[in-house]
């Protein structure tokens, strides 16, 4: 039967198992929104305060579930407002489909009202993008978009659809979505055997685990593999939750603000096994001094990552879960007793710690959140010092429980992401950790949280400054605090109340404990504004460009 293009979009979304989309309407997306109105019983639409919030919410939805997140916007500024969210998803390999309205075909290229070449703009921050100029190509393109977003190394795909295409009529027939199969054709026996030989001969093996473990669902296999070869496991920021941090082999996060055990472990190991990790500059720092004694074995689904930042002697290309399942029966059981004792000595001597006392400190806040939630919350973050405290002082034991912008470092990301994560997993609880600087950027999404009664607990680490930038200015710019003081509004308590969200203003440990306990119990949207000192530091720290074991502890 013939239906219009807007209805074809709805049918394709339902085909793909989409139950929720995030967006904001506009002139060139009106046909799509009319179809959403008529199909509100089939697809839940969340109206955000801003298109950027919609893109971050779709991203958070995807990170919390592993499914494709979907956002919709109109042409021109609506589409360009998605760009930061699309780039955020691209840098962290998050499956997303962004659907944008476009001016009619007859007006394209004429500088028409609200016309931009969004496909051209997003070319370098999408896995693929499309302009659908004919109705006959619409369903096929949408199906391809979802397949590309999920297959191989995940990523965002943009589909730009002119308004006349959404109005045109065409035959539609249901199709079963194409199966997403793990990449296995590139896993060669020769490379597996090389890896086995390297592991057999290693006396100090060390595993560096990234977001690829979570993307492939390989957390159980990683645990089994690490236990069999007795290798400590350090995680990248995007890998948090991929290996249980309560396990004796876990050394925690690696990199600029990683643990001493992780950074020293990678420096002294003789075999570094990197799995689903891209050797970011925030992990590697001085590439010439990174893992200086180690042979590097790199396991990744994307061949372009192998040797890109750090030379790898050996590699296996393919899905991490499939590769580990092939390696586990091939590698011998190992003990590495002396190596593990050395790792443990670093863990014991250099724990993440702080001087507590009675002062309300960010480290105490994260420890108390962990205690009160018993490690069962989904933690979302903005970007900055609070992000690192959330990474350091909350123990992640399950995948998809730490949701944060890693590669792009997007301030303003977390509030939208917390909405997406909470809607995606309604039976779980989301705690959003924000800095006052980041929270200002997209605090308008409080109206979304309030309207849909999304029971997110927002904890603001309010130090009245851009904390991470100030920390760098203190350490490397002789305390020249250029434009980092945020000694201005808004009053976050009044702001929250203006949107109809309950809020607490806390200055002491007891006040925080009581406020969080009440928020956790009542299951409703809450803002907790925590006043902390503006000179709090994130430690340990490696200075940019220094060797990764050149660690500032105090």
Report if residue 145 sits inside a domain. Answer: yes
Structure tokens at 315: 């590699």
The per-residue pLDDT for 356 is 77
In the sheet where 250-253 sits, what is the strand order? 250-253, 233-235, 205-209, 271-275, 295-300, 314-317
Q: What percent of the chain has pLDDT over 70?
A: 100
The two structure tokens encoding residue 145: 């978009």
Verify that 157 and 208 share a domain, yes or no: no
Of residues 166, 146, 177, 176, the one with CA closest to residue 35: 166
Tell me if 121 is assigned to some domain: yes
Name beta bridge partners: 23.
47, 72
What pLDDT does residue 369 have? Answer: 98
This prediction's pTM:
0.97
How far apart CA 474 and CA 470 sit, in angstroms, is 6
Tell me the β-bridge partners of 70: 97
Which CATH number covers residue 313? 3.40.50.1220
Domain that holds residue 166: 2-171
Query: CB neighbours of 140 closer than 8 A, spacing ≥ 6?
Result: none
Number of domains in the chain: 3
Q: Is 154 helix (H, G, I), strand (E, B) or coil?
A: coil
**Which position among 113, 140, 338, 476 bears the catalytic label?**
113
Flag whether 476 is in a domain: yes
Q: Is there a single domain that holds both residue 198 and residue 102?
A: no
**Out of 115, 127, 150, 163, which one is annotated catalytic?**
163
> What is the spatial distance between Cα 85 and Cα 108, in angstroms, rounded to a whole number?
25
Catalytic residue among 11, 51, 305, 322: 51
Q: Which of 449, 370, 355, 426 is nearest to 402 (CA)?
A: 370
Domain boundary, last residue among 349, 383, 416: 349
* pLDDT tens column, 317-358: 999 999 999 999 999 999 999 999 999 999 999 988 888 788
Q: What per-residue confidence (pLDDT) applies to 1?
A: 82
- What's the rounded Cα separation, in Å, for the pair 7 and 16? 14
Concerning whether 468 is annotated as a catalytic residue, the answer is yes
> Pick from 354, 256, 236: which is nearest to 552 by CA?
256
Q: Which of 96, 461, 468, 541 is catalytic?
A: 468
Which entry of 15, 114, 289, 344 is annotated as an active-site residue?
A: 114
Do 407 and 525 share a domain, yes or no? yes
Q: Look up 238 and say whether it is catalytic.
A: no
Based on the domain organization, do 381 and 331 belong to the same domain? Answer: no
Whether residues 76 and 135 fall in one domain: yes
Query: Active site includes 114?
Result: yes
What is the pLDDT at residue 358? 84
Cβ-based neighbours of 156, under 8 Å, separated by 6 or more: 86, 89, 90, 94, 95, 96, 97, 98, 125, 126, 127, 149
**pLDDT value at residue 354:** 84
- pLDDT tens for each residue of 526-542: 999 999 999 999 999 99
Supply the angle between the helices 5-15 and 138-150 in degrees, to the nearest 10. 30
Domain boundary pick from 286, 314, 349:
349
| Residues of the chain with confidence (pLDDT) below 70 | none
What CATH number is given to the structural domain containing 420?
Answer: 3.40.50.970
Q: Is 509 considered catalytic here? A: no
What pLDDT was estimated at residue 357?
A: 81
């Amino acid at each position: 039967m013939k239906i219009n293009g807007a209805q074809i979009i709805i049918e394709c979304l339902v085909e793909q198992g989409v139950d929720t989309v995030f967006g904001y309407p506009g002139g060139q997306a009106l046909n799509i929104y009319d179809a959403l109105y008529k199909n509100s019983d089939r697809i839940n639409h969340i109206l955000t305060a801003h298109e950027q919030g919609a893109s971050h919410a779709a991203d958070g939805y995807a990170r919390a579930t592993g499914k494709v997140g979907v956002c919709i916007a109109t042409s021109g500024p609506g589409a360009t407002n998605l760009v930061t969210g699309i780039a955020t998803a691209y840098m962290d390999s998050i499956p997303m489909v962004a659907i944008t309205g476009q001016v009619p075909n007859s007006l394209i290229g004429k500088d028409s009202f609200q016309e931009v070449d969004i496909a051209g703009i997003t070319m370098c921050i999408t896995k693929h993008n499309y302009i659908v100029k004919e109705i006959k190509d619409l369903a096929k393109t949408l199906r391809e978009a979802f397949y590309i977003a999920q297959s191989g190394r995940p990523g965002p795909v943009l589909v730009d659809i002119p308004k006349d295409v959404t109005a045109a009529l065409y035959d539609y027939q249901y199709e079963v979505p194409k199966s997403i199969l793990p990449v296995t054709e590139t896993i060669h026996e020769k490379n597996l055997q090389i890896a086995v030989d390297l592991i057999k001969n290693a006396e100090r093996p060390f595993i560096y685990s990234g977001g690829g473990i979570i993307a492939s669902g390989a957390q159980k296999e990683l645990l089994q593999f690490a236990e069999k070869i007795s290798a400590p496991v350090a995680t990248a920021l995007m890998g948090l939750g991929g290996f249980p941090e309560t396990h004796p082999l876990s050394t925690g996060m690696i990199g600029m603000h990683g643990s001493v055990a992780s950074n020293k472990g990678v420096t002294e190991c003789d075999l570094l096994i990197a799995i689903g990790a891209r050797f970011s500059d925030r992990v590697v720092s001085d590439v010439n001094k990174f893992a200086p004694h180690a042979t590097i074995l790199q396991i990744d689904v994307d061949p372009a990552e192998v040797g890109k930042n750090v030379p790898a002697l050996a590699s296996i290309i393919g899905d991490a879960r499939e590769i580990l399942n092939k390696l586990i029966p091939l590698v011998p059981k190992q003990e590495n007793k002396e190596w593990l004792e050395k790792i443990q000595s670093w863990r014991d001597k250099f724990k993440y710690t702080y001087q507590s006392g009675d002062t309300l400190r960010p480290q105490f806040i994260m420890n108390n959140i962990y205690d009160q939630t018993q490690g069962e919350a989904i933690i979302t973050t903005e970007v900055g010092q609070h992000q690192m405290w959330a990474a350091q002082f909350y123990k992640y034991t399950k995948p998809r429980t730490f949701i944060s912008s890693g590669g792009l470092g997007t301030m303003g990301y977390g509030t939208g992401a917390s909405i997406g994560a909470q809607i995606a997993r309604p039976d779980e609880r989301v705690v959003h950790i924000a800095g006052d600087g980041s929270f200002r950027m997209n605090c308008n999404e409080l109206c979304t949280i309030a309207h849909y009664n999304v029971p997110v607990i927002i904890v603001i680490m309010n130090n009245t400054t851009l904390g991470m930038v100030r920390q760098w200015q203190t350490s490397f710019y002789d305390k020249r605090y250029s434009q980092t003081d945020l000694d201005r509004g808004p009053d976050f308590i009044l702001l929250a109340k203006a949107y109809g969200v309950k809020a607490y203003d806390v200055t002491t440990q007891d006040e925080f404990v009581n406020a969080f306990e009440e928020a956790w119990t009542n299951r409703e949207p809450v803002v907790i504004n925590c006043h902390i000192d503006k000179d709090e530091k994130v430690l340990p720290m490696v200075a940019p460009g220094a060797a990764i074991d050149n660690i500032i502890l105090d």
